[in-house]
Amino acid sequence: MWQQLQDELKNDGFMVVAVAEESCGAEHARTWIEQAKSTYWSLIDTYHRLSDLYNLVNVPQAIWIDENGVVVRPPETAGSTDHFRWMDRKTMTMAPEDQAARLAAREAYMAAVRDWVRTGRHALPADEARDRQPVVTPAIAEARARFRLGLWLHARERREEAATQFAEASRLHPDSWNMWRQAADLDAVGKASGPAFWERVKALGEKPYYPAPRL
């Protein structure tokens, strides 16, 4: 998806910058990045600084920044949908209708990016972009501090103390799947996509995991 857009729009002044939030370390993400063989920038953020700066809570999320460095669309779901909830977990496959709907959502998002680059459509006025920017509450600010402290403790083999901080960070900021996933994988690689993940998804009820972007 992103490589396709990069190839199509690179001569129109467009550039993709991908950032992997990977608290397990740069080497943990390097294999995936090298396998993708992308020509756009692929960065690795081991401390989730990008989430702190732009209020990201999940992946994939995207931010549109114009040629003047102005955010014209704050963080939003980038072409993903909730259809994964109904996949067959034994075969990890989706029903054809769910797969088609997922593909249609991705194509619609890519079309919106193309429109923005070529015509300026979908870019938000400054006041609307500001209003859509997620608000950082005191609880969220504390969650980020506790998550960062958890990373520091974990790196020093103080695992139990780190786990306490990670748990409190997720309690304070339950919408941050990024923090929960990273803490889970630090506990055991693969845990972030295992039964604990699906239980957490189930607990959402009717709340979307990937809210549709308001295009």
What confidence score (pLDDT) does residue 24 get? 84
- Residue ranges of E strands in 61-161: 61-65, 71-77
Structure tokens at 144: 């980020």
Other Cβ atoms less than 10 A from the Cβ of 71: the count is 18
What confidence score (pLDDT) does residue 65 get? 97
Q: Note the pTM of the prediction, 2 decimals.
A: 0.90
Q: List, in order, residues 6 or more apart from 100 with CB less than 8 Å away.
A: none
Could you tell me if 85 and 209 are in contact, meaning their C-beta atoms sit under 8 angstroms apart?
Answer: yes
CA 43, distance to chain mean position in Å, is 14
Rounded mean pLDDT of 138-154?
96
Question: Is pLDDT above 90 for 35?
Answer: no
Angular region, 48: left φ>0, alpha ψ -120 to 50, beta rest: left
What confidence score (pLDDT) does residue 62 get? 96
What gap in Å lies between CA 179 and CA 151, rounded to an integer?
10
What confidence score (pLDDT) does residue 112 get? 97
CA 31, distance to chain mean position in Å, is 19
Residue for token pair 């608000």 = 135
What gap in Å lies between CA 1 and CA 180, rounded to an integer?
26
Tell me the pLDDT tens digit for each residue of 196-209.
999 999 999 999 99
Question: Is pLDDT above 90 for 19?
Answer: yes
Amino acid at 193: S
* Mean per-residue pLDDT of the chain: 93
Tell me the pLDDT tens digit for each residue of 94-126.
999 999 999 999 999 999 999 999 999 999 999
What confidence score (pLDDT) does residue 29 get? 82
Could you tell me if 150 and 166 are in contact, meaning their C-beta atoms sit under 8 angstroms apart?
Answer: yes
What gap in Å lies between CA 202 and CA 197, rounded to an integer?
9
Burial 134-157 (b: 16+ CB within 10 A, else e): eeeeeebeebbebbbbbbebbeee
